[in-house]
Structure 1
Amino acid sequence: MASPDGMPRAIAKRLPLYHQSLAKLRKQGKCTVSSKELSKEVGVEATMIRKDMAFFGELGKRGVGYNVELLYRTIGRKLNLDQHWETVIVGVGKMAAALVEFNCLYGRNFRIVAAFNPEPALQNHTMVEHLPVQPLSFLPSFAKDNDIKIAILATTAAQAQMSANTIVQANIRSILNFSPVEICVPEDLKVINDIITTEMQILACYLDGMKNNQK
């Protein structure tokens, strides 16, 4: 799936890696970087980097490389790092607590501002880390009042689709899904699935390939 401006998702997933490496190079005082040098930093083939950068137009010069500052700022604008995004989390378990704690430490321009409980019968959860927990039914009004554009879904499999339906009703346009199942939402709503068991299976597949290559 591509972004609204036509950027393939595969490129979008690599942009944060490029931006982090460019930030490091800026601190080191480097003015230019070649695709080969950047390849060593991010673990992406140099030819792939050049193809990715071509999406932004003529940013590099043959034999010279890319201007570090220009590329850093260009990718930063694409990642909307000049904006601050208030986010909500749906879920009250250990996964939700870990995500809130991580956001507090490394969130940069993303800030989780509220937590919502998808199971009203469980009233023993009053806080997720520092956040007070509200009933999921409060989400639509909260999202409208606070202009929430992003929701993090960290529920059980049984709660995931019902919670996603409420997120849709709240007119939130993007979901980062940490629940263990994929969810069904309208086509115009962006979902990124981060299903840990699936990622572990992919790693196991890579390990199997490495084992076969060593025979």
Structure 2
Amino acid sequence: MHKVASLLVENLPTFYPCDFSRLEEWRVVFVYDGDTFLVSRKGISKTIRLAYIDTAETRRDSDQRIESINSVNDIYAHQFRYGDLAKDFAFRTLLNKKVRIKTIDIDRYDRSIAEVYLLDQTLFQIELVRHGLASVYYRYLAISYDPLRVLLVVNEYLAKTNLEGFWSSPQSVVLPDMFRRLKRVHQKLDDNGILAFNILSDRILLDLSNQDISHVEAQRRMNSLISDT
């Protein structure tokens, strides 16, 4: 499977839309995190949220209590480390650079959900996934078209297999969407409740690390734990 995936990536062209030359060109003026940034064009600014992918979370001032309690929690440490690395990658690659934007949708926060292309026609989402700095957001992948889906899924498979970036420590990997749900549970609990919850969640990830269960089963058990709390 790994060889087939590698051959697919090598033989598929760098994906870009047929209407690339007609996409509007914007300048990135601020980077919020790995998958969200501010762009400007002709005096107009808008916030972009990258389509199809999710980068790890970064620390938030509003969550100081639970982040302090979890200061030695590997799940939190891993999430924030790769959240910071994804933000740094976006900062170095995009800030003050021009990009081309293909808007897919507008979300409830009034952000433009978009494909973002560098001027060499590289899709920025692919670069994040390839380096293990983003996971594919499968919940929203259906709105993309087939060649792009193949590139995203295959590049994520190779990053996982090669233990790139975010995937380097299986015992600490909680997908960003799951991590946000985990934090919402922590916000409802007192300090002792958080510590008790973490014992159960750590047991799931230990089973995953020991290869006693699959990623799919680990996510199912984590979903169940969060839903029951």
TM-score by length of 2: 0.24
Greater relative contact order structure (CA < 8 Å, 6+ sep):
2
TM-score, length basis structure 1: 0.25
Mark the structure with the bigger radius of gyration.
Answer: 1
